[in-house]
Amino acid sequence: MSKLTVRTLGERLLSQRSGRGVREVAREIGISPATLSRIERGNLPDLESFGKICKWLAVDPAEVLGVPLPDAARRSAESQRLQASAHFRADRTTSPELATALADMILATQDLLRDTSR
């Protein structure tokens, strides 16, 4: 399989949907059918939808964002993600999915900043 990018996210969704209806898959992912359709046409998802889509596709958001992580760094990032998402989950107004997506975004940003400062 080719490397997954934000540009190919919609193509991957369409492929994974494999003929199933937009409404059915959108309900399964937890987003609206209109949002799913827009993303399949190449539009960028909002952060919450992005997290749900990555979870449904079983892909690492860092891969989609183009943040390469070696195996040791990936394990460390996973540990940090769990800690960060647990912190966000302490706030009862934040959904677990949003907390995980926010944690992933923060860690990916930290990695990008670390890489660009070298």
- DSSP one-letter string for 81-107: HHHHHHHHHTSTTS-HHHHHHHHHHHH
pLDDT digits (tens, 9 = 90+) for 20-41: 999 999 999 999 999 999 999 8
Neighbours of 23 (CB within 10 A): 12
pLDDT digits (tens, 9 = 90+) for 41-72: 888 888 889 889 988 998 888 777 777 666 65
- Can you read off the two tokens belonging to residue 110? 């930290």
